[in-house]
Amino acid sequence: MNKNDRVSPARVTQKQIAALAAVHRTTVCLALSDSPRIPAATKKRVLKIARELGYRPDPMLSALAVYRKSNSPVSYRATIGWISHKEGTYDFRKRPQYLHYYQGAKRRAASLGYNLEVFEFGSELTTPKRLSQILRARGIAGLLVAPPAGMSIELPLDWQHFSAVTFGYALQKPALHTVAAAHYRDTKRATQELLKRGYRRLGLVIRIRTDERCDNNIHAAFLVECVRAGVDISIPPLFDFEFEECSALKQWIQDHRPDGIVTASPGLVGALRRLGVNTPAEVGVACLSQIQEPGAPAGISGIVENGEQIGVKAVDTLVSLMHHNERGIPEVAMRIHLEGNWQEGKTVRSPSEPRKKVLSTSPSKEV
Report whether pLDDT(183) > 90: yes
My answer on whether 56 and 198 are in the same domain is: no
Residue 365 inside a domain? The answer is: no
Choose the weakest-confidence range: 57-61, 149-153, 190-194, 294-298. 294-298
Query: What rounded mean pLDDT belongs to the chain?
Result: 85
Report whether pLDDT(231) > 90: yes
- Integer Cα distance of 210 and 366 in angstroms: 30
My answer on whether 156 and 108 are in the same domain is: yes
How sure is the predictor about 361, in pLDDT bands with cuts at 50, 70 and 90? Answer: very low
Report whether pLDDT(5) > 50: no
Alpha helical stretches, state H, the chain = 14-21, 25-32, 40-53, 59-70, 96-111, 128-137, 183-196, 208-213, 217-229, 247-256, 267-274, 307-323
For residue 215, which of 255, 179, 170 has the smallest C-alpha distance? 170
My answer on whether 297 and 215 are in the same domain is: yes
My answer on whether 207 and 260 are in the same domain is: yes
Question: What's 41's domain CATH number?
Answer: 1.10.260.40
Residue 22 inside a domain? The answer is: yes
Question: What's 118's domain CATH number?
Answer: 3.40.50.2300
My answer on whether 52 and 109 are in the same domain is: no
My answer on whether 126 and 33 are in the same domain is: no
Write the pLDDT tens digit of every residue in 10-58. 778 888 899 998 988 888 888 887 776 788 888 889 889 988 888 887 6
My answer on whether 155 and 219 are in the same domain is: no
Q: Identify the domain boundary among 35, 50, 70.
A: 70
Residue 2 inside a domain? The answer is: no
- Integer Cα distance of 161 and 113 in angstroms: 21
User: pLDDT value at position 70?
Assistant: 52
Which domain covers residue 295, as residue numbers? Answer: 183-305
| pTM summary value | 0.77
